[in-house]
Amino acid sequence: MEVEKLKAIAKELRIDIIRMLAEAGSGHPGGSLSCIDILVTLFFHRLRHRPADPNWADRDRFVLSKGHCVPALYAVLAKAGYFSRDELLSLRKLNSRLQGHPDRHRLPGIEASTGSLGQGLSVALGMALAGKTSRKDYRVYCMISDGECQAGQIWEAAMAAPKFKLDNLCVLLDYNKIQLSGAVREIMNLEPLLNKWRAFNWNTLEIDGHDFHAIIQALDDAERAKERPTLILCHTTKGKGVSFMEGKWEWHGKAPNREEGERAIQEILAQN
């Protein structure tokens, strides 16, 4: 798909995210907005998947390890046709299929129930290992957060994936540099982050996570890597697209009220 079309979809889905969160009155705007460009590129340019047949055995898999940012994934899945976009406004409501974190038993297109940070990469690793063992050619993509890299289980999985030569595994690190209560560097500094993944024997790439050309190129490069998994460090902006949310830790887990939501939507609409 042409980059301009991907940009248009991302703009549309940023509005969906804001509407969902304003309607729900709770949720996580900051990280949902920081990762949406990456998810749009994956689902509308890269992944082999069939919304009409979500359990297709040869599909590529995507695991959202940073499960609190599931509004972005819901917006993408609805746009792709996994379920009606009208259902988006049921986010976090009683008996809704759209829970505050992904639930694979409730909704088509969700590969793993996530939200306990650090666990999603291990799930994705298992999927990739299963693919290798059964000689399937599907690829597994996993999105993790920067604050999540403070969890030990991430590094256990990071050791295991190269051991098993999982070149069918690609991890996208949403490096927006802000977590629940402040800057990552102040809470538990991760740097030199890319060097750490390299030391664990990963193929590593570093990009602007809002540059669609760069995302596409990095995904191409990841597919060409042999006998090693790939880590793509994506530099992003927390709350991207909404000026009063950008770079603010306060918007990690605070939904906009209706007035703030309308301001955010108008601002997104005005962007090129």
The per-residue pLDDT for range 252-269, each reduced to its tens digit, is 999 999 999 999 999 999
**Taking 70 as the threshold, does the pLDDT of residue 1 lie above it?**
no
**Taking 90 as the threshold, does the pLDDT of residue 197 lie above it?**
yes
Quick one: pLDDT at residue 272? 84
Give the mean pLDDT of 132-139.
97
In contact, 120 and 63? CB cutoff 8 Å: yes
The alpha carbon dihedral of 205, 32, 127, 131 has a sign of negative
Q: The tokens 């830790």 sit on which residue?
A: 249
**Taking 90 as the threshold, does the pLDDT of residue 204 lie above it?**
yes
Q: Give the chain's domain count.
A: 1
Q: The tokens 């927390």 sit on which residue?
A: 238
Give the mean pLDDT of 116-136.
97
Quick one: pLDDT at residue 57? 97
CATH code for the domain of 106: 3.40.50.970
**Taking 90 as the threshold, does the pLDDT of residue 143 lie above it?**
yes
pLDDT band at 117 (very low <50, low <70, confident <90, very high): very high
- Least Cα distance to 160 among 152, 115, 64, 232 occurs for 152
Q: Prior bond to 192 cis, omega within 30?
A: yes
* 3-state class percentages of the chain: helix first, strand second, coil last, to nearest 5: 50, 10, 40
Domain extent at residue 105: 3-269
The per-residue pLDDT for range 152-195, each reduced to its tens digit, is 999 999 999 999 999 999 999 999 999 999 999 999 999 999 99
Give the mean pLDDT of 200-228.
98
pTM, two decimals, is 0.97
Query: What would the two tokens of residue 37 be?
Result: 């460009």
Give the mean pLDDT of 50-64.
98
In the chain the first and final C-alpha atoms are separated, in Å, by 19
**Taking 90 as the threshold, does the pLDDT of residue 129 lie above it?**
yes
pLDDT band at 92 (very low <50, low <70, confident <90, very high): very high
- Least Cα distance to 161 among 114, 202, 218 occurs for 202
The per-residue pLDDT for range 5-54, each reduced to its tens digit, is 999 999 999 999 999 999 999 999 999 999 999 999 999 999 999 999 99
